[in-house]
Amino acid sequence: MNRQMEDAAEPRGARPEAVQAAERQHAGPQDAGQAQPARPAVSVILPARNEQGAVGATVRRLREALPEAEVIVVDDGSTDATAQQAEQAGAVVLRRPYGMGNGAAIKAGARAATGRVLVFMDADGQHDPADVPRLLARLDEGYDMVVGARDGASQASVGRGLANRLYNRLATWMTGHPVLDLTSGFRAARASRFREFLHLLPNGFSYPTTCTMAFFRSAYPVAYLPIRAARRVGNSHIRPLRDGIRFLLIIFKIATLYSPLKLFAPVALGFWLLGLGNYAYTFATSHRFTNMSALLLSAGVIVFLIGLISEQITNLTYRRDT
């Protein structure tokens, strides 16, 4: 009776269906006429490192937007008052003894979360907690993950904006689906789907790329929702010199996570064409088959075979026993 009165008093239609469905599945049995505490439907995970200037306000706004949600702040070895600010604002804080990386914090939060839907966002004030219900509402439309896609004005710099455009176009070509923001860290996903790929996620900053390509590769529907990201509070933890090379590797990771032959086959074809062109030239001028022609043709064969092996490894990576 108490449960019925609570349900009648609460306007369920005002909340996204993803939240309601998760609550129904998590509702525990009643014991002696009293309902057991229900596990949260949504878990919001915020990786944080030295974010004392923004994490408290972000958590408080989250609590206002989603009072029933579980809010987890993963303190990635902060040396300031990040953990204290998050706890005072009402978040569950997971402390790491030292900095392990953004991706490592995401994995720790995903393992600790109890909600059926996981929401990932930054703790530096860039992402608006008011957009979380919009992500959840889009999730109701049959998607397994919804990503907040930043507009051009939300990019941290011109250089990073151009790099993100390159990543988006490459990912779109690889997957055959529009990818509007490959590197956005603001997303909502079904927990059961997301946890399938925890072993693939790196410990660094490129976890969104890996996650997105893994969902596409496994034929889990992904949607994008336009958002406006604010300027972060405090200094960025991305270092252009150190992380620039890592971000260049994202291009190769995109290919190897989805379909390696789409990358290796064109490269192999280029070597073959160069080898044939060099052979045609040397044969026409000196009637010889040179070592350079043999090297280029051999390189084409080797690259193609590496692509075939990579394709098989990728298939094994995503294989699941059903």
pTM, entire model = 0.74
Other Cβ atoms closer than 10 A to 108: 21
Specify the higher pLDDT residue, 235 or 145. Answer: 145
Average pLDDT, the chain: 82
Percent of the chain with pLDDT over 70: 77
Q: pLDDT tens digits for 205-248?
A: 778 988 998 899 889 999 999 998 776 555 555 555 555 566 66
Residues 239-286 have pLDDT tens digits of 555 555 666 676 677 777 778 888 899 999 999 999 999 999 999 998
Which of 6-20, 43-57, 69-83, 103-117 has the weakest average pLDDT? 6-20
What residue ranges do the domains of the chain occupy? 42-258, 261-317
> Is 42:165 a contact under the CB 8 Å cutoff?
no
- The owner of tokens 């804080």 is 93
Out of 1.10.3720.10, 3.40.50.460, 3.90.550.10, 3.40.1050.10, select the CATH number for domain 42-258.
3.90.550.10
Judge whether residue 39 has pLDDT over 50. Answer: yes
* Distance between CA atoms of residues 143 and 123, nearest Å: 25
Tell me: the pLDDT tens digits for 288-320? 999 999 999 999 999 999 999 988 888 777 665
- Confidence bin at 322 (pLDDT 50/70/90): very low
CA 111, 208, 220: angle at the middle one, nearest 5? 80
Cα distance between residue 294 and residue 305, in whole Å: 17
Please give the structure tokens belonging to residue 54: 């923004």
- Region of 87 please: left (phi>0), alpha (psi -120 to 50) or beta: alpha
pLDDT in tens, 160-210: 777 788 888 888 888 888 999 988 989 999 999 999 999 888 887 778 988
Q: Given pLDDT bands bounded at 50, 70 and 90, which one contains residue 26?
A: very low
Listed in sequence order, the residues at least 6 apart from 59 whose beta carbon sits closer than 8 Å to its beta carbon are 46, 71, 73, 86, 89, 90, 91, 123
More confident residue, 245 or 63: 63
Q: Which DSSP letter does residue 67 get?
A: T
Joined tokens for residue 23? 């609550």
Q: Is the pLDDT of residue 123 over 80?
A: yes
* Whether the predicted pLDDT of 113 surpasses 80: yes
* Cα separation, 157 vs 14, whole angstroms: 38
